[in-house]
Amino acid sequence: MTDSPERDERHLARMLRKKAVIDERIANSPNECGLLLVLTGNGKGKSSSAFGMLARAMGHGMQCGVVQFIKGRNSTGEELFFRRFPEQVRFHVMGEGFTWETQDRQRDIAAAEAAWAVSRQLLQDPGIGLVVLDELNIALKHGYLDLDQVLSDLQARPPMQHVVVTGRGAKPELIEMGDTVTEMGMLKHAFQAGIKAQKGVEL
Q: What predicted TM-score, i.e. pTM, was given to this entire model?
A: 0.85
Which parts of the chain register pLDDT below 70? 1-2, 29-30, 71-74, 96-103, 203
Q: What does the pLDDT look like over 71-123, one tens digit per residue?
A: 666 678 899 999 999 999 999 998 765 555 566 788 889 999 999 999 999 99
pLDDT digits (tens, 9 = 90+) for 64-79: 999 999 866 667 889 9
pLDDT of residue 16: 80
Q: Contact at 8 Å (CB) between 69 and 139?
A: yes
Domains and CATH numbers, the chain: 32-186 (3.40.50.300)
What 3-state class would DSSP assign to 77?
helix
How many Å apart are CA 128 and CA 22, to the nearest integer?
31
Q: Residue 140 burial (CB < 10 Å; 0-12/13-18/19+)?
A: buried
Nearest residue to 65 (alpha-carbon basis) of 154, 113, 130: 130
Compute and round to an integer the Cα radius of gyration of the chain.
20
Helices (H), 60-180: 77-82, 99-102, 105-123, 136-141, 147-155, 172-177
Coil, helix or strand for 19?
A: helix
